[in-house]
Copies of this chain bind each other. A is one copy, B any other.
């Protein structure tokens, strides 16, 4: 197996082993379909340290929602996926009984494929200041879908990226968390996938936080319960493929088709380290602007539904 393939999706890491017909101890995969097969839900559970080491991801639950096609704003599929995001989020935080939630929109608003986090944050129903100013009961009175639900203080921040602020996103979030003491942080970020087909068609939700090096920006320090002191659910959507990964992957596929042996291919790929410049590049769809538009709506709608409009969490 080639270790250098870069992906933020646990599902893609798992698939890598399946290609090699390897069972991994400490890693459980479950799959189901919903909506007449239009949404595929895969859950990768990393249950122990062995699984974590092999998968190179922390112990925890990784839920992946995949649509068959690119999403269009206003479509029926978009609504289905929003509801499913809300539902999966609800399941991930069950028993956590959170009442103060901080959403962190990671990424750079000025770079289209990295703007997912800030754009989700823009579309959330922010309630913390309302409940603090007008008291509990305010949402019950003003939001018709709230009947019987606990009123959640939702706040949100888009901390920017290091080149803009001089600070790591995790430093900013740590400071804010210490100040406002949420009982849950939800981090939204653009991810890197290995497969072009997964870009903007897949949502990953996990209770492990965001791992270092994710997506386009270099969030070098992890944003997780250990670093910030409260549970972190991360929601991500692949918006890019690493340029080196796409080159490497396309090559591997071609060499396989040409009948080269596994060993030959590995040697060949090892010789690629000299691809100067490619490591600072990413690959993204030509239609990334519209895709970010619809995907950010879906995530924001899913989060809003989970806390304010759906059935009791």
Bound Cα distance from A180 to B173, whole angstroms:
11
B162 A129 Cβ-Cβ under 8 A: yes
* A1–B280 alpha-carbon span in the complex (Å): 28
Report the minimum CB–CB distance from A9 to chain B (whole Å): 16
With beta carbons under 8 angstroms apart, the residue of B121, B174, B180, B285 that contacts A179 is: B174
List chain B residues, Cβ under 8 A from A271: 254, 257-258
Cα of A163 to Cα of B128 in the assembled complex, Å = 9
Oligomeric state, in number of copies?
4
CA distance A283 to B295 in the complex (A): 21
Please state if B281 and A284 are interface contacts (CB–CB under 8 Å): yes
Expressed in whole angstroms, the Cα–Cα distance for A168 and B180 within the complex equals 10
Q: Cβ of A19 < 8 Å from any Cβ of B?
A: no
Is the C-beta of A250 less than 8 angstroms from some C-beta in chain B?
yes
Residues of B contacting A130 with CB < 8 Å?
166
With contacts A129-B166, A167-B155, A175-B179 taken as known, whether A254 is within 8 angstroms of B251 at the C-beta atoms is yes
Q: Select which of B165, B176, B251, B258 is within 8 A of A155 by beta carbon.
A: B165
Which of A31-39, A80-88, A206-214, A286-294 participates in binding chain B?
A286-294
Whether the pair A278, B129 counts as a contact (CB closer than 8 A) is: no
Whether B126 and A163, one on each chain, are in contact in the complex, defined by CB atoms closer than 8 angstroms, is yes
Closest B-chain residue to A218, C-beta based?
B286
Residues of B near A197 (CB, < 8 A) are 276-277
Q: 8 Å CB contacts to B: which residues of A270-313?
A: 271-272, 275-278, 280-290
Across the two chains, which residue of chain B brings its CB closest to A156?
Answer: B165
Q: Top 6 A-B pairs ranked by shortest CB distance?
A: A175-B175, A128-B166, A155-B166, A175-B179, A196-B277, A126-B166
